[in-house]
Chains A and B, each alone.
Chain A
Amino acid sequence: MSDDDPMNITAGSSGSIDDRKNAAIRYVFFSCAFVTVLTTLGIILVLVQGSIEFFQHVSIVEYLTETEWSPVISPHSYGVLPLVWGTLVITIGSALIAIPVGTATAIYLSEYADPQVRKTVKPTLEILAGIPTIVYGFFALSFITPLIQRFYPETGTFNAAAGAIVVGIMIIPMVSSLSEDAMSAVPDDLRNAAYGLGATKFEVSTSVVVPASLSGVIASYILALSRAIGETMAVTLAAGMHPQITVDPLEPIQTMTAYMVQIGISDVSVGSIGYQSLFAVGLTLFVMTLSMNLLSLWIKSRYREEYQ
């Protein structure tokens, strides 16, 4: 792994190159690339191993079907459904904001906006995705929740709605930018064909451009949803740490990620069931996001339209 050797090679005359040294350099670079494979293996190993330990104490059936989650405080209960529910509430709620807003933004930027406006607005919106998620958590506490409380005074400090709203804002640019890319890639030939048939601009946008870019648009939705599922700090601060299955968006909830934070900042000892539950929940989260990401890749490759 010494990277001194490659430096020495060219110090002398280039005529006396040692093949073994070249092979060593190649090996060093390969090792760097292989770190990414090790990372994946490490993630899977760590999650599976921790989960196996957890499931030695808790039955998988209980984990997947019980509706109470209280692994640390007695009476103990190990049903993950309230955490999954919390994650779903945030994911669906944020999707209800980001998908319509992001898609409409993409259509506006791709089909209607002046190129100069697009060049300014697109990166501006992308700032939203670059702001640390902890800032969104703060924004929810100091701005969104007080705003909700103005209309629903009984709303508590922590509520699912504020979490869904800030996560929704956060993922708008994922939808808008990736969808806009897909729409801009639709060749003008198709727009002209529709205009030539007496379509209005509205029809060209909605019945030609959007369907033609659908695979890219849907892939952007799934990526955004996957991001919402894995979102941690904003939902921890905004939606609270109260695992429960409720349909009231003004109630506090707990997502899988927020539970992991809760354990992370507490003094749970290694080897305890609380510590092990971290990995079981982590594995559940990992499987959910991984399947979303794979689905997105599959849709993109499966439905990629071949424009000449």
Chain B
Amino acid sequence: MSTGNPFAEGTEDIARKRLIGRAFVAICFASTLVGIVALVALIADVLVESWGWVTWEFLTYPPSQVIENFLPGGRGAGIYPALVGSIFLIALTAVFTVFLGVGAAVYLEEYASENRLTSFIEANIANLAGVPSIVYGLLGLAIFVRSVQLGSSLIAGALTLTLLILPIVIVSTQEALRSVPDSQRQAAYGVGATQWQVIRDVVLPRALPGIMTGTILSLSRAIGETAPILMVGAATSLFVAPDGLTAPFSAMPMMIFEWASRPDPEFQHVAAAGIVVLLTILLLMNAVAILIRNRYDPRS
């Protein structure tokens, strides 16, 4: 009597469910692969299309309407003004965002009391992060370019990008500030420091790696943005790098857009070459951010 399997009942049902389960896992796994395959395809596509087009000349020459100029042995043509324009643009954006972003985060984390105004500001920041970037472009166009009459200038582009990434920088800086233990603040207050001294001498130095990581990652988003600077009026046919804050400017994503929209299929290779340069800079920025995080992460 004891040899029977008391678990025989319902085994068919379980076997059927296990089969469905296996199919389900297979589908889930395949779905995971979809994203990875798409990423690989995208990178491979860019690399293949750009193969042989990323040259020293490409980095150091202004663009040209004539495809032959981009080719080896041609007169030389490339992304130089846009590359320099992007670097200037990001440097300027960095200055504005660090000042505004850290200032706003310090206010919200260290000064603000928990009242309606504070929660309104925080909710507002969360909402701003969801506003499409092209809408920021309209804001920049109407305010900085027209009303303030900065024109389609480097500084108008930088201010627009600043407003765009400000919500992300504030949130990441708040997180960095929050990670500073309260005991550190208490210790500084205990020796008679003022609130500003505590923030300057204790909180900010401790939070600095986190602030830098978050800011660099936000800037790496800004450098790839096209729509806002397009609305502000970034140029596509500049042959010189910007030489002042109010000078007209070009930027890499804008150049890539211009090249990719050309009907001439050869220009697809030029666009791909521009993407390689853009992605390389993005990669470098991310690497620096991760390096800082790993180096100074208090958890490691």
Which residue numbers of A lie inside 8 Å of B, CB to CB? 6, 9-10, 14, 17, 22, 25-26, 28-37, 39-40, 42-43, 46-47, 49-50, 100-105, 107-109, 112-113, 121, 124-125, 127-128, 130-139, 141-143, 169, 172-173, 176, 200-203, 205-206, 223, 226, 229-233, 236-237, 257, 260-261, 264-265, 270, 278-279, 282, 285-286, 289-290, 292-294, 297
Q: Are A173 and B35 in contact (CB under 8 A)?
A: yes
A10-B196, A14-B192, A37-B121 given; A139·B42 CB < 8 A: yes
Question: Which of B61-69, B129-137, B240-248 is the contact stretch?
Answer: B129-137
Q: Within the assembled complex, what's the spacing in Å between the Cα atoms of A2 and B170?
A: 21
Q: Are B31 and A105 in contact (CB under 8 A)?
A: yes
A107-B28, A135-B275 given; A261·B134 CB < 8 A: yes
Q: Are B100 and A32 in contact (CB under 8 A)?
A: yes
Q: List 15 A-B contacts (CB under 8 A).
A: A26-B107, A30-B107, A30-B111, A32-B103, A112-B28, A124-B36, A125-B39, A139-B42, A139-B45, A141-B268, A230-B133, A236-B257, A282-B135, A289-B131, A289-B132
Q: Within the assembled complex, what's the spacing in Å between the Cα atoms of A39 and B25?
A: 46
Q: Are A289 and B130 in contact (CB under 8 A)?
A: yes
Q: Are A229 and B132 in contact (CB under 8 A)?
A: yes
Query: What's the dominant secondary structure at chain A's contact region?
Result: helix
Most buried by B among A128, A223, A226, A264: A264
Q: Are A264 and B230 in contact (CB under 8 A)?
A: yes
Query: What's the dominant secondary structure at chain B's contact region?
Result: helix
Q: Are B163 and A105 in contact (CB under 8 A)?
A: no
14 further interface pairs, Cβ-Cβ under 8 Å (given A14-B193, A40-B127, A286-B132): A14-B194, A17-B194, A22-B196, A39-B166, A42-B139, A112-B28, A135-B46, A135-B278, A142-B272, A206-B24, A233-B226, A264-B233, A290-B130, A290-B131
Q: Are A25 and B41 in contact (CB under 8 A)?
A: no
Closest Cβ–Cβ distance, residue B177 to chain A (whole Å): 12
Count of interface residues, chain B, beta-carbon cutoff 8 Å: 92
Q: Are A32 and B107 in contact (CB under 8 A)?
A: yes
Closest Cβ–Cβ distance, residue B45 to chain A (whole Å): 4
Closest Cβ–Cβ distance, residue B143 to chain A (whole Å): 6
Q: Within the assembled complex, what's the spacing in Å between the Cα atoms of A211 and B273?
A: 46
What chain A residues lie within 8 Å of B136 (beta carbons)? Answer: 43
Q: Are B227 and A112 in contact (CB under 8 A)?
A: no
Q: Are A282 and B134 in contact (CB under 8 A)?
A: yes
What chain A residues lie within 8 Å of B56 (beta carbons)? Answer: none
Sorted from nearest, which 8 A-B pairs have the closest CB atoms?
A: A230-B132, A132-B224, A32-B103, A202-B21, A104-B31, A29-B107, A108-B28, A293-B130
Cβ-closest chain B residue relative to A100: B31
Q: Are B138 and A46 in contact (CB under 8 A)?
A: yes
Cβ-closest chain A residue relative to B255: A134
Closest Cβ–Cβ distance, residue A288 to chain B (whole Å): 9
What chain A residues lie within 8 Å of B101 (beta carbons)? Answer: 32
What chain B residues lie within 8 Å of A142 (beta carbons)? Answer: 45, 49, 268, 272
Q: Are A230 and B134 in contact (CB under 8 A)?
A: yes
Q: Are B127 and A101 in contact (CB under 8 A)?
A: no
Q: Is B184 an interface residue (CB 8 A)?
A: no
What chain A residues lie within 8 Å of B201 (beta carbons)? Answer: 10
Cβ-closest chain A residue relative to B197: A10
What chain A residues lie within 8 Å of B99 (beta carbons)? Answer: 32
Q: Within the assembled complex, what's the spacing in Å between the Cα atoms of A230 and B131?
A: 8
Q: Within the assembled complex, what's the spacing in Å between the Cα atoms of A257 and B134?
A: 7
Q: Are A232 and B224 in contact (CB under 8 A)?
A: no
Q: Within the assembled complex, what's the spacing in Å between the Cα atoms of A105 and B30?
A: 8
Q: Are A133 and B282 in contact (CB under 8 A)?
A: no
Query: Which residues B1-56 have CB closer than 8 A to chain A?
Result: 14, 17-18, 20-21, 24-25, 27-32, 34-36, 38-39, 41-42, 45-46, 49
